[in-house]
Amino acid sequence: MSTVTFLNATLVLPDRLLNATTLTAESGRIRDIGRAPTTGGTTVDLGGAYLCPGFIDLHVHGGDGADFMDLTPAAFEAVCRCHARHGTTALTPTSTVATYEQYLGFLRLCERFTGTATGGARVLGGHLYGPYFLREAKGCHPDAEFLTPDPARDDQLLAFAGRGLVTLTVAPETPGTERLVRAARAAGLLVTAGHSYATFSQLEAAIGWGVRHADHLFCAMSDRARLRPTQTYPMRGGVLEAILYFDEMTSEVIADGKHLTADLLRLAYKVKGSDRLCLVTDTMRAVDCPDGEYWFGPDGSGELVRRMDDVGVTRDGKALASGVMGMDHCLRTFHRLTGAPLHEAVRMATLTPARILGVDAEYGSLEVGKAADLIVLDAALTVKGVYVGGEKVA
């Protein structure tokens, strides 16, 4: 592997900016910070530009015309290359609602690509997203198989833990979910709550089982205003209130400027803070594509949605349907709309998701010994260079 030294860099650290300094990457890792460069290798003078850890996206479905649920190696590589152009150096491929056999195919490809060069972002492992949703809260996902927890079937999926599967999303109110969550946690998975109309008390119980994260705050989840009093869904606090209340819970926001208004982003930032709230793109295949209709999920058998006005919408235009903008756009938008200091906004796209996933010893910050996953941003926070393991990929 090559050696590259960045001169005159403004390092974006988790707690501050460090001006006019030097960083050297060698053999895929950060070797030195602040020392004079040694001879040999490549030298890059940044002229004061920002040098950041690479973005980590915990919730991403597709990009550049491809979806992870297309279930081909070419699709995986295309999505990883696409998001690398937007500064993402590591991600967790995220499934959509599909069939059981498609879930298995997805996990097999996640296993294949975890730890393997993609030409773009690293694959950290798969995010199994869809089997255990509440059907009524499916959002724009295809109306395919919604699984009720079943030990035999669950264990076949959980067998991929540690070899291609790192995250599992559940609707905690579904009968049998406690056993599934406890088994997933015992297998080392991050278990998240999402696409759920659980009550406050149901999510509180799920926290006791080991649920620690919630997908896309404010989206496809119950809250008091949305839950109408019925025998099934009484008028009580829901998932939203529980996420904001319990310090044990981390969450994420789609900061594309379309899914959430500035006031909701500011609320989430104030209550959860930059250590318990991360940025995600939740993007489908229309990233870097023209406006038009695209399949969300498997090509030809998912759900048709439209890209328009820099967001995905349902075909009737009445509801949002996934994101279409990269993490660089989300960083710029969150920083602008909330007024968060730059180092905190960057932390929410780097170290915080790394900690949530439990990979912060390897990724997420500029520290000697960590992986040299680096991005260069100019003053406008536009991506000017992307390095994965010290190798330039964009």
pLDDT of the residue at 388: 98
Model confidence band, residue 145 (pLDDT cutoffs 50, 70, 90): confident
The DSSP output letter for 41 is S
- pLDDT of residue 225 exceeding 60: no
pLDDT of 55: 99
Residue ranges of E strands in 3-96: 3-12, 17-26, 29-33, 42-45, 50-53, 55-60, 62-63, 66-67, 88-93
pLDDT tens across 33-80, in order? 998 777 778 999 999 999 999 999 999 999 999 999 999 999 999 999
Tokens read off for 90: 């590591």
Give the whole-number percent of the chain exceeding pLDDT 70: 96
% of the chain at pLDDT higher than 90: 88
How far from chain centre, in Å, is Cα 104?
21
What is the location of CATH 2.30.40.10 in the chain? Answer: 3-51+376-392
Q: Which of 67, 282, 328, 360 is catalytic?
A: 282
- Positions of CATH 3.20.20.140 in the chain: 55-362
pLDDT band at 246 (very low <50, low <70, confident <90, very high): very high
Residue 128 pLDDT greater than 70, yes or no: yes
Local confidence band at 220 (pLDDT 50, 70, 90 cut-offs): confident
Between 234 and 131, whose confidence is greater? 131
pLDDT value at position 36? 77
Query: 55-362 maps to which CATH number?
Result: 3.20.20.140
- Active-site residue, 328 included: no
pLDDT interval class at 363 (50, 70, 90): very high
Which of 123, 58, 39 minimizes the C-alpha distance to 373? 123
Q: Where are the alpha helices (DSSP H) in 246-350?
A: 262-272, 327-338, 342-347
pLDDT at position 227: 46
- C-alpha distances in Å from residue 28, one per residue of 25, 187, 310, 392: 6, 29, 35, 11
The residue that leads in pLDDT, 114 or 302, is: 114
Known binding residues: 195, 216
Contact 327, 349 (CB under 8 A): yes
Tens digit of each residue's pLDDT (9 = 90 or more) over 83-112? 999 999 999 999 999 999 999 999 999 999
Look up the pTM and report it: 0.96
What does the alpha-carbon distance between residue 383 and residue 394 come to, in Å, rounded to a whole number?
Answer: 9
| Token pair 């004061």: residue | 48
Asked if the model's pLDDT at residue 26 lies above 80, the reply is yes
Flag whether pLDDT at 230 surpasses 70: no
Please give the helix or strand (H or E) that residue 157 lies within, else none.
Answer: helix 151-158
Report the mean per-residue pLDDT for the chain.
94
Place of tokens 């000017």: 384
Extract the annotated binding site for Zn(2+): 195, 216
- Classified by CATH at the fold level, domain 3-51+376-392 comes out as Urease, subunit C; domain 1 (2.30.40)
